[in-house]
Structure 1
């Protein structure tokens, strides 16, 4: 299709979906969004590293052709709109993309572009792998015990955006209905929000988590919820998860209860354990017994809190990757904010975006390139060559700029 501002690179071939599978050519066109604030700094650095990893892994037989797509402040300058429809269309057209952080006003202003994007493209699974890399400073005594992949439902829950400000006509109308028709009791003049949780949305998220666990040799999937309080939303999420495992994965799953009874403590070959934890307890157990958890499936708000909290255990959101994935379309992203006070200073840690690119490479099926990025990162950080945020936590560190960190990683790849 023709675009107003987006220019497709010459020589590349679009990724496609064929016979229900992703078809990735050797010269794919992949979209990228610089992002706001520190976005341009870390994206420039990351692109150099990813290209070097692909070259090292495949010696020129494969290459990513990068296509810039515009969202956020850059889009507002070009289109007069921070969320132009052309960008959404291009992300759908190219199938696989990656983005830097985008600014969202707090307590007012425009709606989150990130949330709008997930809903517009039905990117229902926010996937956040969290693990420790040697040399990265951590508050835990044994951060290497943390190795989880969090699947967070992306389109429902209180993030669905069904909310009305206090004092508005909409809130007053909903308040009357809830009180007069349903007998609800709450303070007059409240701001009101609706928490939709569907069987369809819950099951497709949990299905993706179970399939991931089976495909990657993981041992368990934990359903995290607050079903003891919100029985008909979060409690239903838990129940639908067990039902899905029972009906669609009966030969490949076993409940924690059965593991302790019929198969005392011994996981049968070829099976994964399905278990559940109440959300507040899960935060504690991820600190005290992180080795007991492998893949986590949870709702939108729980997943937002939990993924950032667990990331803090292994070095923080500055190196935490993420991907928003639908049935096929995927937009990988840096999981931190745009940090505007550091914009243009060539100072920010590019780790989150770098590892989101590792997820992208794995998604393409280019595992050799993905492992090359990880190996280079481990080598560079192991020599205590780090950006300012890690340098202040490490003795004997050599503090470098964002661009210099990328150069060190490229050099580590030979």
Structure 2
């Protein structure tokens, strides 16, 4: 017999009128921590202090032993930045570029991620508002907890809609139509989620959406009053872009019934014809797959390993990026995500062949730490760090960084010596 949840009992309806009085009190410590944060690592700690342990670990974890989760971050530290001096730059620098053919003010953006309202009741709305604030791309997951029309109202700028490999072609057609009607500029098909990764922190925590109200989870909820008040004083969330009648606690069953491991290149080609617009294949780490994706009709290669949450010991995305660029040539758009924690990471990715960079965990830490304010701060931290890195490198624009990039980035060898990164330069040589 299922134990009724607070939402089943209508507790949120009784508590909602009290939010203006109680929320500022319970959120005060979290807001103070958020305002004191100076980098993404600080935001991670802010998120850990505010969010339910089960929720934070879901956000923070990787697959199996989390080897690639660590490697993905460490790979950036193996790349040195060999800067020019006396470049004569005059601030402010130009961080603008194009993504999916759309003008944006920043060469990075918040990746589409599922279930944002489990971290903070503002959910995807906070990330969309932050994207609008910074003038950059916004990515919405098909497992988002905020509807496409609501996102369109908050973020009128460039948007990409992420789609999974569902079995039901009717469902695919339905969400594609919603995305088109909602003014989304591009589609991103996630192809590295045909099986669910082994995320052992979730297993140890007994992770469920929403919490299953075990004694352990109740105790952990008491220890995180800001998150708990936020959760129980707002409406229960659903996955608004697949089926509003699918409650959050039925998500796992729905996904397991709909994800299609048999989805293949022919299905992808059909999908490209249905969408008939700019589209990315998200989850590419091999040059041969990238070449085939171009042939199928994808305009953009999205180099990603699903945040190190799927196949353990898959490659760090920054390590395979140059080979993807070499495979598809200079004119195919490339997006990279994975392991990004600093603006210097973004600069390295742009220098080594990416046209833009997606960030997942950094903005979700901000969201879990403080809603819209937290996401705006996360993106601003990365913006300031990227601006500083470009200035110190001696490049004044994103285009200049991409053009000169191969000469600026060198890989450490044996801990002391360095060599050029194997990436074709302007004349086709390293």
User: Which protein is richer in helix relative to its size?
Assistant: 2
State TM-score, norm by structure 1.
0.27
State TM-score, norm by structure 2.
0.26
User: Which protein is richer in strand relative to its size?
Assistant: 1
